[in-house]
Amino acid sequence: MPPMRTPARDNVGGDEGGSGHSPAVLFAIVWDLLSEMLGTAAAAAIVRRAAGRGAAESPELVDLAIVRADLEYQYTLPHGWSQAVERAPIALRVLVVEIGRLLVELTGTVVVRRLEQVPELRAAGLIWRVEEAN
């Protein structure tokens, strides 16, 4: 069973000597930035909605769960997201595109531009804006 994470900031270190980060680490970076910029409740709502939208294209996103426990949010990630990879898996890329769409609708490009500046996310090939994904 995939790990339950609370808070997301734990284990956002390196990649244990591999050349890529695991999708779990990449997601934790995204979660932390969204939480810092928008708050955890907004981050949870956006990620949940993005996962729901992306599940048709990538059914693996059904396994992404975000729940509120006491005053914190916890998430469970899809099973295969714990191994280090050179390029983010399709499910994470689909999730990121959907998060990007929602962020542009809700905040304009401010938050997306901040996410685009993170070297780890860029190196994993994550594209936040639809026009760049084509």
Instruction: Tell me the pLDDT tens digit for each residue of 83-133.
Output: 887 778 899 999 999 999 999 999 999 999 999 999 999 988 898 886 654
pLDDT digits (tens, 9 = 90+) for 30-66: 999 999 999 999 999 999 999 999 999 999 999 999 9
Domain ranges of the chain: 4-12+19-133
Q: Strand, coil or helix: what is 105?
A: helix
Nearest to 64 by CA among 96, 104, 34, 32: 96
The rounded distance, in Å, linking the Cα atoms of 82 and 86 is: 13
Whether this prediction's pTM lies above 0.85 is answered by no
The rounded distance, in Å, linking the Cα atoms of 56 and 66 is: 18
Nearest to 77 by CA among 55, 99, 88, 92: 92
